[in-house]
Amino acid sequence: MIFTGRITTVVHRIIEDSVREGSIVLDGTVGNGNDTLYLAHRVGKTGKVYGFDIQEQAIECTKEKLIKEKVVERVELIHDTHTKIQRYVKEELDLVIFNLGYLPKSNKKIITKAESTLDAILQSLDLLKNGGILAITSYYGHEGGKEEKDAVEEVVSKLDSKFYNVAKVDFLNRPNNPPIIYMIEKN
Ligand SMILES: C[S@@+](CC[C@H](N)C(=O)[O-])C[C@H]1O[C@@H](n2cnc3c(N)ncnc32)[C@H](O)[C@@H]1O
């Protein structure tokens, strides 16, 4: 059942559905590493997770979590912008996730931004396998968040339906700008 009250559960259900032992996946916004850790467990010993973040604090905190749960060797943590995805990733991906916004409990001025986010999304779509999923969770309640969300929505809405199926999860009856999830499946 994908429809639960919690956004993270929805994303984890998407991951459960499309990631298995041996999958190659990418987390474009590692942050505190919760999704990266979840992915590392799902891909198993033979899979691989690429994780990007521009903040050292995010990379270090995630590395600690991965070491603690003995899955660090399955993850390549990259302290760099996700606009350089194709410099680091040279193989096809089963799943890509992005969490747009700022790092919780950290500097709220360091946020994902429309131009770089869209660049990274388009690079990821190129790398995605046929049948692969790109899931974007947009937290947009902060300053600049709505502009980014609108830009992402405009671009993903126009992806050619011959090649991509695009859907959106929007919690319509919840207050305070609940996050929106965009799901893109490559045909
Ligand atoms: C909403 S947080 C991610 C939360 C994360 N999924 C978690 O489980 O904690 C967004 C992250 O994107 C990172 N970020 C912002 N711009 C970036 C960029 N151009 N490239 C890579 N990461 C970026 C921020 O540093 C921040 O950690």
Compute, in angstroms, the gap from residue 31 CA to the centroid of ligand 1. Answer: 5
Any ligand 1 atom below 6 A from CB of 36: no
- For residue 47, the SS3 value is coil
Any ligand 1 atom below 6 A from CB of 35: yes
The per-residue pLDDT for range 38-97, each reduced to its tens digit, is 999 999 999 999 999 999 999 999 999 999 999 999 999 999 999 999 999 999 999 999
Dihedral of alpha carbons 112, 115, 116, 120, sign: positive
Residue 110: both structure tokens together: 């360091």
CATH H-level, domain 7-186: superfamily? Vaccinia Virus protein VP39 (3.40.50.150)
Torsion of CA 40, 41, 46, 49, to 10 degrees: -10
**DSSP strands (E only) in 82-155:** 93-100, 128-138
Per-residue pLDDT band at 166 (split at 50, 70, 90): very high
- Between β-strands 164-170 and 180-186, what pairing exists: parallel, antiparallel or unpaired? antiparallel
